[in-house]
Structure 1
Amino acid sequence: MENLKMKRVLVVIAIIVMTTSVVFAAPVITDSVNVVLQGKEADFGDKGVYLEDGHIYVPFRQFFESIGYDVDWDAASNTAVAKDPLRISSYVDREQKVDAALWQLSAEARACFIQAFNLATLRFDQALEKYPDATNLAVIADIDDTLVDGVMYTADVLQDGEWTNDAFGRSLASEACKPLPGAVEFMNYVVDNGGHVFYITNRVSSLREVTFETMEKMGFPMVDEDHIFIREDGMASSKESRRNIVEKDYEVVMILGDNLEDFADLFPPSEGVQARRDAVDEVYDMWGDKFIILPNAVYGDWEKAVYNYDRSKTLEERMQDKKAIFDYYKYTR
């Protein structure tokens, strides 16, 4: 993230240097060059575009204001700053998540959450009929964006808030932290009908205390060390080993999550988008039965799969990978 900020600073400095050099070099003004930025042609009025030694120089303020940017001068730091008023975040990768976060807040998303827990209740009733004498029926659930709404933290991050575990912990402790509709009711329904619930989360160990406090405050049942599995220090993100612990003593009849990793280690993002789609089809009958997935358009392994979870790739390279996905699937290819 800091690299992106630095790039913006360098761009600002470069433009200042270039435009300042016009005064001393006495370059030639021309109206034969059109300048286009983000699909918009810049209009400089009587200021014009300057050519010198094959380089194009433009007036800073007129250039950005012509395409709708706000331009300010910070005298204290001797810096000209151009900002797009149509952007919410100053980070490119965060700005790409704005519409996804808005969808998570939509009525359509809310309907999906309610639908998921209604279906989960129906499936648990069927499990009770299938195992009428069982005392060890269990449901496993992820926490974030499966039981607890994470969009209140996302809303802050997208407006240049901190993207850290400490900031996430503060968001969990805030009054804005709420359960998803139907989540508390379903988990209590399982317990009230003789079942057991387990929470497997990749929240880090430093969030243990706030996790227990907030889950209990929201009304979730069985909030204790035996039923909440935090991602301990040094532990991989895979939840397989923690699921195995539960499955050793319990009949797991249902798993709920918003990311495929919540269900099984069958969908590694390193395999890419199509391979994960194929893997989903291989367990076709489990979706809506033992596996109940909730929508999350903001983050998850689905995004990592676009660039095969190659963390060495730059933001620009990842953008090219995203474009390649659309090029592959578009009907005109």
Structure 2
Amino acid sequence: MMNTVFRTFVLSSTLLLGSISLPSWADESTYTTKDLNEQLVLASVWMQNSGEFKALSYQAFNLAKMSLDDYLEQHKGSKKVAVVVDADETVIDNGAYEAWLVGKDFGYSSKTWAKWMEAAQATAMPGALDFLTYAEQKGVEIFYVTNRKMVGLEGTRKNLKALDFPFVDDAHLMLRDSTSNKEPRRQKILADFDIALLMGDNLNDFSADFKTKSLEGSYAAVEKNKALFGTKYIVLPNPTYGDWEGKVYKGNWGASAAEKDQMRKAHLTAWKPES
């Protein structure tokens, strides 16, 4: 009650006197990227600290083992078998980078991300090493199809090797080159391998079907492919960033912090109690 009274007093005084600036929570023109970064806090705390996040990661890799076993039992082709995984927030955890942005008046940038990749400090997702090693022991090759740019190749290689991940070499590290579309890289793998399953935190990690421009397009693609989730496609949890965020902005990544805040909140479905 006191807080409400205080805010009412400040706003009233501001309007009457005209010489007092509106506080940041009342004046959208003062809403900064630092303010927007505060919205990373709860998701980042959850990913770094909750047992539920770890459980979901273990669940994904346990499911991957079962799916791989089922695939290998039925596989009759002459090609070798591969598993395709994304890197970031799929087999490695970059939560420390996201947490670093909190309190800063800037967001993600290729410059700071390049420094993070070079530092090679991402940790293994819970269950990732066990699954990748298991697949290797089954005679399955691992391909890391990631949209990290080639500038991050050496840092990525160093990071994955430090985590003892298998198949960390030029043939299996498939970073982004001329396009963020992963389909050409998947097709390159399919020339010599049968892909047992794909793992990622972003729908674009799975199929060209998910290369859509709107949230509605994503929903339709998910419905079309729903039978493949948990078998061919295995999704890892990532509430901090992703292709979905750009669709919330209708592709306008250059929107101001205040505009992004408004667009995020406009997509919330809120309860409206009866008066």
Alignment TM class, shorter chain as reference = 0.7 to 0.9
**Using the alignment, how far apart are the partners of 2:150 and 2:5 within structure 1?**
44
- Structure with bigger helix share is 2
Are the aligned partners of 1:269 and 1:304 in contact in 2 as well (CA < 8 Å)?
no
The one-character-per-residue Cα deviations of 1:183-204 (angstroms, maximum 9, x if unpaired) are 1111111111111110011111
Pick aligned residue for 1:306 from 248, 251, 261: 248
Listed as ranges, the gaps of 5+ residues in structure 2 are: 26-31
**Using the alignment, how far apart are the partners of 2:13 and 2:165 within structure 1?**
64
- Counterpart in 2 of 1:57? 19
Shift of 1:229: 0.6
Report the AA paired with residue 295 of structure 1.
P
Farther-moved stretch of structure 1 (287-296 vs 173-182): 173-182
Matched ranges for 1:279-290 at <5 A: 279-290=221-232
- Counterpart in 2 of 1:197? 142
User: For the structure 1 residues 205 and 50, does the alpha-carbon distance in structure 2 shift closer, same or farther, using more than 3 Å as the test?
Assistant: closer
Are the aligned partners of 1:138 and 1:251 in contact in 2 as well (CA < 8 Å)?
yes
Report the AA paired with residue 260 of structure 1.
L
**Using the alignment, how far apart are the partners of 1:49 and 1:120 within structure 2?**
61
Q: TM-score, normalised by structure 1?
A: 0.70
Are the aligned partners of 2:142 and 2:172 in contact in 1 as well (CA < 8 Å)?
yes
**Using the alignment, how far apart are the partners of 1:261 and 1:169 within structure 2?**
22
The aligned length equals 263
Shift of 1:292: 0.4
- Counterpart in 2 of 1:225? 170
**1:181 aligns to 2:122 (yes or no):** no
Matched ranges for 1:21-60 at <5 A: 40-42=7-9, 49=13, 56-58=18-20
Listed as ranges, the gaps of 5+ residues in structure 1 are: 1-35, 68-88
**Using the alignment, how far apart are the partners of 2:82 and 2:139 within structure 1?**
9
- Counterpart in 2 of 1:277? 219
Pick aligned residue for 1:127 from 60, 66, 71: 71
Matched ranges for 1:313-324 at <5 A: 313-324=255-266
The one-character-per-residue Cα deviations of 1:111-162 (angstroms, maximum 9, x if unpaired) are 1001000000111111110116755111000001100011011111223288
Shift of 1:178: 1.1
Q: Based on CA coordinates, which of the two structures has the bigger radius of gyration?
A: 1
**1:248 aligns to 2:191 (yes or no):** yes
**1:116 aligns to 2:60 (yes or no):** yes
**Secondary structure of residue in 2 paired with 1:41:** helix
Higher relative contact order by CA 8 Å / sep ≥ 6: 1 or 2?
2
Shift of 1:253: 1.0
- Counterpart in 2 of 1:146? 90
The sequence identity of aligned pairs, in percent, is: 29
**Secondary structure of residue in 2 paired with 1:124:** helix
Report the AA paired with residue 110 of structure 1.
K
Q: TM-score, normalised by structure 2?
A: 0.84
Q: CA RMSD in A?
A: 3.1
**Using the alignment, how far apart are the partners of 1:162 and 1:317 within structure 2?**
14
Are the aligned partners of 1:200 and 1:239 in contact in 2 as well (CA < 8 Å)?
yes
